[in-house]
Chain A
């Protein structure tokens, strides 16, 4: 690397003469070595999935989760250094909690992404710290209904000022990806980690921007993409970890949860069949089942 020996890579808060922060770039390298994580924003929910590389047969299956819940309606998946990810999640939970203290409402996914973006960016500013060695995918569902504020005990006026307007809807799915620099964007489909290139290529084929993909289809696609992105040559074993969050009238009732065992097994079965067979032919069959 060109930076080595120049001295500009030894500290945060120091730019190289051509305007780069090498510490951030090194952090990105850490992410690129981590297991793949993806997120899909469907019309009625969000799916998160990670390729959890099994580093030892002595590890308990299903332990050491890499997707965590924040508040009730948000999930965070991450690729990179796991301890950094744990700290990131912990901070996100604190942000969600302090938002509730202030506003007596769950934090919107966009606001959580914004606050976490600021938090991550602050770790690029000081020479006493290093940047986060993770890229995090934040997916959640903002309630489409007018939720009662925390602690509300009455129903309030039925009509007039302060009354509810029937049939109004807001909220919906939210998906954001935060990089070690603190940069974040909202996405239809997000991918990071080792297999991100392959995953992105698959995500682009899904025409997510049209908002037509259903959550159940999204779950199966996510499982398939994780399998596609997995590189059998470098890593043999991996576990598929998958969560989802649906609308209030959907399967998770607006909560972020792990995909039920039955559905997970089915999605993984289809993904494996896809991998074994002729990819183009199998894809149609997958969509139907």
Chain B
């Protein structure tokens, strides 16, 4: 009798040898192996920051296929209703699927006599349940999403959800590489929800544009063309095909150790 519970129900080591765990998890041919997947065509970071009257959100126009810059005119910000917008990173076909289910949701909402009254908070709750349900089926939508807009009482709202259904909210947010490179910079705007009251639209928009530039310098799968949107009580102002301005590649001279300057 094996007295260690983890041994129960398994072939006995003294007869069959130690159990080879790798066999099951690596076999392709034997047994059902549904949905094992990885993203194919992907978008990189999405950035967003709250300010006192609303939210700024931005994402570049690139869809990469591995290291190939596959599509360079991809719009990754999607409007929903009058006061909500989402930015999507990760798999582009899954992004298109999300865009379609939200389109359908918008049509259905408008069948009611009050029109589409879902706010950004409602949209985030809905999306997080979609994402969590799909991960639970081991068939995830391979995305990281930021939802920006206004909540039910007209306050700025910003929250994220990823392929696991994990949700979190913060005065500033960034997905993908942006979470390492941009988020620390954006946090200088507002560390806490209370500090958001001191942030103007101009400050927030400038910080997001600057952070995008840093990402373009350092994230090889990013682009200098992007969409940026500002959501306030007045509605959504979506600017597409924006160009990064004031780039300076002077620092590139001094990068050594690889590329053309090996030593």
Contact = CB atoms under 8 A, between A and B. Distances in A.
Classify A-B as touching or not with yes or no (CB < 8 A).
Answer: yes
Interface of A: 65, 68-69, 71-72, 93, 96-97, 100, 104, 150-155
B111 A150 contact: no
B111 A151 contact: no
B82 interface: no
A72 B99 contact: no
A65 B113 CA distance: 9
A153 B99 contact: yes
A69 B74 contact: no
B73 interface: yes
Contacts of B100: 100, 104, 150-151
Contact of A151 (B71, B97, B113): B97
Given A93-B111, A154-B74, 20 more contacts: A65-B113, A68-B111, A69-B110, A71-B107, A100-B104, A150-B99, A150-B100, A151-B97, A151-B99, A151-B103, A152-B96, A153-B63, A153-B74, A153-B76, A153-B92, A153-B95, A153-B96, A154-B63, A154-B71, A154-B73
B52 interface: no
B75 interface: yes
> SS class of chain B's interface: helix, strand, loop or mixed?
helix
A90 B58 CA distance: 38
Contacts, number: 39
A269 B103 CA distance: 38
A51 B95 CA distance: 45
Contacts of A93: 108, 111
Interface size class of B (residues with CB under 8 A): 10 to 19
Contact of B73 (A96, A97, A150, A155): A155
A154 B62 CA distance: 10
A150 B105 CA distance: 13
Q: Which 10 A-B pairs have the closest CB atoms?
A: A151-B96, A151-B100, A151-B99, A153-B74, A154-B73, A150-B100, A153-B75, A155-B73, A154-B74, A154-B71
Contacts of B111: 68-69, 93
A93 B108 CA distance: 9
A257 to B, nearest CB: 10
B104 A72 contact: no
Nearest to A100: B104
Contacts of A154: 63, 71, 73-75
